[in-house]
Amino acid sequence: MAELRKVKADDVVANRRRGGDIRVLLSPKTVASTSGFMGTLTLQPGEFVSEHYHPYSEEFLYVVSGRILAVVEQEQKLTLTAGEALMIPIGLRHRVSCEGPEPAFCVFHLSPLAPRPDLGHVDTEALPNATEPVPDVGHTS
């Protein structure tokens, strides 16, 4: 039987490079996942995750608390509040911002995995915290 591993969000290094507080909890590196990865996103009012796309993965986004604005392909704008979810298809540019007076807390999942971690994410906007290091959440092999 495979070893089950739990991961505590406070034990994961936050990725702030693209904006907000992104924590990849379940990944090939942390739990030896083979089909995707899951994490959390916390955005303070006015904060955003810069525009990007995933050439290999669909992104599933669920809002636990707060309110976010998702802009997809610079044309479609969707406001999501607690209890609402959105699936962003492979290859579509998207940007997420906190539009409410309170922080937004979201859970995300991307699947399938890119062939290599460096191929999984393409930035299309200047990074708000470009000097921040990128935590290693890649494949185990």
Single pTM value for the model: 0.91
Instruction: Write down the pLDDT at residue 111.
Output: 97
Q: Which of 76, 113, 81 is nearest to 94 (CA)?
A: 76
- The pLDDT value recorded for residue 138 is 47
Whole-number pLDDT of residue 25? 96
Look at phi and psi of residue 73 and say left if phi exceeds 0, alpha if psi is from -120 to 50, else beta: left
Instruction: Determine the pLDDT at residue 109.
Output: 98
**What pLDDT, on a 0 to 100 scale, did the predictor assign at position 1?**
75
- Each residue's pLDDT expressed in tens, for the chain with a length of 141 residues: 778 999 999 999 899 999 999 999 999 989 999 999 999 999 999 999 999 999 999 999 999 999 999 999 999 999 999 999 999 999 999 999 999 899 999 999 999 999 998 899 999 999 888 888 776 654 433
Q: Given this model, what pLDDT does residue 84 score?
A: 98
CA-wise closest residue to 88 among 50, 62, 113, 59: 59
The CATH number of the domain covering residues in 14-123: 2.60.120.10
State the Cα–Cα distance between residues 113 and 74, nearest whole angstrom.
25
* Total count of residues recorded for the chain: 141
Q: Which amino acid is at 132?
A: E
